Amino acid sequence: MKKIISIVCALVLVSVVALAQNNGKKDPEKWREKVRAEQVAMITSELDLTEAEAQAFWPVYNEVQKQRREAFQASGEAFKALKEGVDGADVSKLLNDYLDAKKKCEALDAEALNRYKKVLPVQKVAKLVMAEEKFRHQQIGKLGGKGNRPGPGEMPMGHRANRPPVEN
């Protein structure tokens, strides 16, 4: 019953966000909120959290997502600075700044897994990782206009493994 209520709440949230669009006008913040709502709905469905797990998990998850967004933004800014200053005298510093920002993103992912393991069984943490990757692939498919892209671990059509061997 609790699972059904969670799913219904997530779907209502997605619907409200979708209906709040400005008659086709592009609003990046509304788009981000819609994507976040879709992500929450997928994670809710995939993890099948108990009420106690959900109460412990969502605050941690939301904080991790905030930190990830900040780290990703810093990485993007460092890349932009590197791109603009690649011919300048401080290119070594810019390169190091970019690499440090990327390392911070990776460190946050490792830290996040440890934080999730404190509030969820390890099997659900693994399901979370798979759900996030599945969601990422779905979003990439939507942005590319192709809804049937291969998921993680799947080989794309036309990949060498799907072709007959070439005879010499």
- Give ∠ CA 54-117-106 in degrees, rounded to 5: 110
* Same domain, residue pair 93 and 144: no
Instruction: With beta carbons less than 8 A apart as the criterion, state whether 42 and 134 touch.
Output: yes
Report yes or no on whether pTM surpasses 0.75. no
Domain that holds residue 20: 1-49+126-151
The tens digit of pLDDT for each residue in 53-105 reads 999 999 999 999 999 999 999 999 999 988 888 787 788 888 999 999 999 99
The tens digit of pLDDT for each residue in 134-145 reads 999 998 988 886
How many residues in the chain?
168
* Same domain, residue pair 109 and 58: yes
- 91 lies in some domain: yes
- 70 lies in some domain: yes
